[in-house]
Chains A and B, each alone.
Chain A
Amino acid sequence: MVERGTALLRKVEINVAEAEKRTGKNTVNMQETYSVYLIEIRPAETEGGTPAAPDTLWRRYSDFELLRTYLLVTYPYIIIPPLPEKRYRLPLISPLVGLENFLLRVASHPVLSNDKIFFLFLTEVSSQTCVAECPLKIFSLKHYSDELNSVISQLLRVRARVADRLYGVYKVHGNYGRVFSEWSAIEKEMGDGLQSAGHHMDTYAASIDDILEEEEHFADQLKEYLFYTDAVRSVCRKHELIQYELEMAAQDLAQKKQQKEELATGTVRIFSLKGMTSKLFGQESPEQRESRLAALEQSIQEGEETVKEKNTECKEFMRTAWEDIERFKEQKDRDLREALISYAIMQISMCKKGIQVWSNAKECFSKM
């Protein structure tokens, strides 16, 4: 297991060296141009037997944003260093310095520098494993899903209260109907006008029932997406589980490799019962050592298989899940846009009814 240490900067040098423009297809299948930045890591020394971290790594601005959001949420009590502006007003100055600064500040923070995701942000290349990028992507999805859940819940609450109030307004107008009717009975010239106006007031009061029923449809559409957010969350959880299993397997493998090394070189770095007993009770025989080495070798091979399997599982899961998530996003945008339009159409229809009723009432009043 690589020791990251409390001061990461003692171990590595971090540099944001270059910027490049790339084009590619984005989530809505449109061509876009974006900038990527080269992160250079020069480790002081590599220790242990983990795969050597690559010297360079390209990341785009949105990746930095994602990392920062992750840090903000995970360490709410810490002041997270800021990122530079996305586009500088002066074209000659690029955000290289600002981005490097950001990384250096995080790396020099006693708590943040220990964050696993930050470390992986600096070192992992997504094509090899999905250990760094996955958590960030999943994290952003989970974050979005939680926020969407909260906002839709709030919206549904407001909608219910507004509907209640609107019901009250319409229904009270029914009282006008009653009073106009009674009043018309005692008037001569005004009687007819009042009577017919009263009928329109009754119509107005009754119309709210249909209006609210139609509105329910919009609420149902919102509720559907509320439930969807739960489904998204469970996808995230599943990924977390696979991720966890992968990490366990990797840890396990690293430990075994360490043991092998110790056994091979005769140094005891990690405390083990076997090591202790051999010290106390004398070295084991060469044959015993050989068999132990062989067993370890076997175990390591199995371990490597497991890690490869888990890695594949993780990548496959991410691939299919991400595909479906993209599809879900498009569907969500479509559905909700249509829902908003239907709602507007319903409101327009409600206004039309209102105009009708009050125009009729006005005519009746003119005849008073």
Chain B
Amino acid sequence: DKGQPWQNPTTTGNKSNLLHQMNTSLADGSPMPNSPSSLVNQYRLEDDDEGQKDANTKDIFIAVDNPESQVTAIETFIMYRVATRTTRSEFDSSEYEVRRRYQDFLWLRSRLEDNHPTLIVHPLPEKFVMKGMVERFNEDFIETRRKALHRFLNKISEHPILSYSQHFKVFLTAQVSDLASHKKQGPGFLSRMGETVRAVANSVRGLRSRPEEFAVMQEYVEDFSNKMCSMDKVTQRIVKEQREYLEELKQYSPTYAQWADLEEELADPLKGVVSCVVQCSKESEEQIHHLSEVLVPALHEYVLCAETLKAVMRRRDNIQAEFEAKNEALLSRKVDQEAVKEVDGLADRMEQANNALKGDWSRWQHSMRTDLRSVFISTAEKNVEYYEKVRQREISASDSNFTHTEKTQTELLFLFFF
């Protein structure tokens, strides 16, 4: 099966250590290992490794841009350009450019989730926005979606397992018609329905008991989801309040301008105030822009992540439930070779799923921490910048005021303190 990383190691740096580990256990070139211990080895990455991996060893770069609307007889939709540059040897070429629509991204994500039910697959932007009557073809909506799609593909490309998925490769490289035929190869609609029904049936039965660490994880996921929703709401409220503040602030200029027209001596200082207000309004607009274009989308993304986590926990639970169900059934019946084999298979599957999740969990936490830390820092920086600019404007405004009067030395010194 082509496209497996451990058969063609070409990367350098610490990541290659990881691949090397995988490689030594597969010297004979046999397919993907499924013994729990080797899987665990795969996922135990130290923090240091993680950081260096990002900096030095990125060997695939993906960009999502250039949205264009396509009109067919039946529908209108947006196509995005997906451009890839890579040095990975499993790719025939080093550069690719394809066009993809939102549905294609949905397909990719669902395939990744199907193949790796307990890995944390980064969420996609929502299908449509309920609030605010945003049209699908509204410029802002398209741009927001484009940025999120870009982030999605980059997150997948940074994932140690997902980025080597065959489906991912096809998504990045296949022309539109080839992708369509590849899509058809997957499990049919009916078989997938069957899986869903089974999963639901098992979840209804419930778990006997969740292992401690997953119980802790479950609780965390619930709490994290709440916190992200709160953060999202609070931030959106702040944006709203700041916009309203800005609207009122702008009213100062015409009023002070009117007053300046009335006065002689005071005309210049008052005109100074007008220009100060105009400048400060611009600074405020910039600050609001950062909040709504950087902080809000980032928080919203992690609201969606929280939902993803919940789904992952559910799927893990279902896998455990399925095993427990079959196991119980076995215990109450006569020993049957086939049944035992089936239960063993389910036990293995459960262990694999649990280990996959455990490994990916720390990776995800690290990534979340990095993402949110950087976006909070940039917001704080932007706010500092805003106050510094406004302070500067105020100083120049009062400076022009000073030159006209005989101010005492003490008053001048006072100003220097600021």
B372 at the A interface (CB under 8 A): yes
Instruction: Provide the residues of chain A in CB contact with B263, threshold 8 Å.
Output: 333
Contacting pair A151 B259 (CB below 8 A): yes
Known A179-B231, A340-B273, A354-B383: A348·B418 in contact at CB below 8 Å = yes
Interface size on B, residues (CB 8 A): 55
CA distance in complex: A246, B82 (Å): 91
Known A172-B238, A348-B394, A348-B395: A162·B245 in contact at CB below 8 Å = yes
Contacting pair B242 A169 (CB below 8 A): yes
Which of A105-113, A182-190, A293-301 forms part of the interface with chain B?
Answer: A182-190
Which of A2-10, A250-258, A303-311, A355-363 forms part of the interface with chain B?
Answer: A355-363
B220 at the A interface (CB under 8 A): yes
Instruction: Provide the residues of chain B in CB contact with A337, threshold 8 Å.
Output: 265-266, 269, 401, 404-405
A346-368 CB contacts (< 8 Å) to partner B: 347-349, 351-352, 354-355, 358-359, 361-362, 365-366, 368
Instruction: Provide the residues of chain A in CB contact with B405, threshold 8 Å.
Output: 334, 337
Contacting pair A340 B248 (CB below 8 A): no
Contacting pair A362 B384 (CB below 8 A): yes
Instruction: Provide the residues of chain B in CB contact with A176, threshold 8 Å.
Output: 231, 234
Instruction: Provide the residues of chain A in CB contact with B390, threshold 8 Å.
Output: 347, 351
Contacting pair B234 A186 (CB below 8 A): no
CA distance in complex: A176, B241 (Å): 14
B215 at the A interface (CB under 8 A): no
CA distance in complex: A164, B251 (Å): 14
Q: B376: shortest Cβ distance to chain A, in Å?
A: 4
Known A165-B248, A186-B227, A355-B391: A333·B397 in contact at CB below 8 Å = no
| A186 interface neighbour in B223, B270, B418, Cβ under 8 Å | B223
A72 at the B interface (CB under 8 A): no
B251-273 CB contacts (< 8 Å) to partner A: 251-252, 255-256, 258-259, 262-263, 265-266, 269-270, 273
| B398 interface neighbour in A151, A183, A344, A365, Cβ under 8 Å | A344
In the complex, residue of chain A having the shortest beta-carbon distance to the beta carbon of B244? A165
Contacting pair A347 B394 (CB below 8 A): yes
| B383 interface neighbour in A148, A164, A341, A358, Cβ under 8 Å | A358
CA distance in complex: A190, B220 (Å): 14
Known A345-B418, A351-B388, A365-B373: A162·B244 in contact at CB below 8 Å = no
CA distance in complex: A154, B255 (Å): 7
In the complex, residue of chain B having the shortest beta-carbon distance to the beta carbon of A177? B234
CA distance in complex: A358, B242 (Å): 16
| B380 interface neighbour in A165, A182, A348, A358, Cβ under 8 Å | A358
Instruction: Provide the residues of chain A in CB contact with B223, threshold 8 Å.
Output: 186
Contacting pair B391 A144 (CB below 8 A): no
Instruction: Provide the residues of chain A in CB contact with B273, threshold 8 Å.
Output: 340
A183-206 CB contacts (< 8 Å) to partner B: 183, 186, 189-190, 193, 197
Q: B340: shortest Cβ distance to chain A, in Å?
A: 41
Contacting pair B376 A355 (CB below 8 A): no
CA distance in complex: A265, B328 (Å): 141
Known A165-B244, A186-B224, A341-B402: A349·B373 in contact at CB below 8 Å = no
Digitize B390-418: 1 where CB-to-A-CB distance is under 8 Å, 0 elsewhere. 11001101100110110000010011001
A161 at the B interface (CB under 8 A): yes
B230 at the A interface (CB under 8 A): yes
CA distance in complex: A176, B234 (Å): 7
B185-221 CB contacts (< 8 Å) to partner A: 220
Known A151-B258, A337-B269, A354-B387: A161·B248 in contact at CB below 8 Å = yes
- Top 9 nearest A-B pairs (CB, nearest first) are A362-B380, A351-B391, A165-B245, A344-B398, A354-B387, A358-B383, A365-B376, A183-B227, A368-B373
Known: A151-B258, A352-B387. 4 other contacts (CB 8 A): A161-B251, A162-B248, A172-B234, A362-B384
- 9 A-B contacts (beta carbon < 8 Å): A155-B259, A164-B248, A172-B234, A172-B241, A186-B223, A341-B401, A358-B387, A362-B377, A368-B372
